[in-house]
Amino acid sequence: MNILLFSGTKNGRELIPHLLYGNNTLYVSSASEYGASLLPESPNLIPLVGKLDQKDIELLIEEKCIDIVIDSTHPYAKEISLNILASCKKRNIESLRFERERGIPENIGKHFVTIADLCDYLNKKEGNILFTTGVKDLGEITAIVDSKRVYARVLPVESSIKDIDRGNIPHNQIVFQNPPFSFEDNLEHIKKFSIKYLVTKDSGKEGNIEEKIEAVNGTGIELLVLDRPDIKYNRIFYSRNNLLDYLATLGSRYGK
């Protein structure tokens, strides 16, 4: 079976050893060189590096005779997931979604569907804001919210610095640090920057969301949650074993 895996998360990478069995050929797409460097070495694993649009994916499916596609990109990587769905539909092959369970119930924090709605809410409030939603959203955020109030945690890489500068955020309002972040880390950042609002995505247990909730509860600040995009996947799995069991039933379909 020829499998195309879009692996943008830790649980996606942990799936890889379980897909390298029998005569399977596994193509693993990573957006960055860093992501590709985390992949294991195997004669049956072929890494693909670089961002792909819908036409790129369609061509890849055709050229590599892909039998099935597994989307294990980040829960908030909406564009690539939509491109995967559209490409598979056009090429008439099945796509499976594998993602982490949600980690923030509706009754915890205040939830928002879009960044714009969240920022409009913040503009009616006062106080410093700690954004833990990633560097890519900072430009949109500072176009609505005064950058003097915006504090953020980002990866210590050159591309992050460029995004911060485009958002006109002073570097002394940025924590350059690799995850994971512990309860103590969250507490330190909240106190250091006199934070009144902590903004997060629902990145699940793997994203250390429990530590954020604990720190918010311990300091009495407000938790604001940007909910996951509403994407209609064809077939979604939250359990690795359930996904592997399903793949096992497909072996005979492809004669492998």
Tokens matching residue 109:
């924090």
What the block records as the tokens of 177 is: 């640090």
Q: Which of 88, 152, 134, 90 is nearest to 226 (CA)?
A: 134
Is the same domain home to 149 and 217?
yes
Contact 119, 141 (CB under 8 A): yes
The reported pTM is 0.84
Residues 8 and 73 in one domain: yes
Looking at the fold, whether 155 and 130 belong to one and the same domain comes out as yes
Same-domain pairing of 156 and 182: yes
How far apart, in Å, are the Cα atoms of 185 and each of 61, 94, 130?
43, 42, 13
* Domain co-membership, 8 together with 58: yes
201 and 182 share one domain = yes
Within this chain, do residues 92 and 119 fall inside the same structural domain, yes or no? no
d(CA 174, CA 161): 10
Q: Beta strands 195-201 and 174-176: pairing type?
A: unpaired
- Domains identified in the chain, total number: 2
Of residues 29, 8, 24, 26, the one with CA closest to residue 16:
26
List, for residues 155-209, the tens digit of each pLDDT value: 888 888 988 998 899 999 999 998 889 999 999 999 999 999 999 999 887 778 9
96 pairs with which residues across the strands? 70
Structural domain including 145 reads 110-226
Residues 168, 79 within the same domain: no
Which amino acid, one-letter code, is at 38?
L
From CA 153, how far away is CA 180, in angstroms rounded? 11
Give the whole-angstrom CA distance, residue 102 versus residue 210. 11
CATH code of the domain in which 38 resides: 3.40.50.720
CATH code of residue 125: 3.40.50.150
Residues 63-104 pLDDT 10s: 999 999 999 998 899 999 999 999 999 999 999 999 988 889
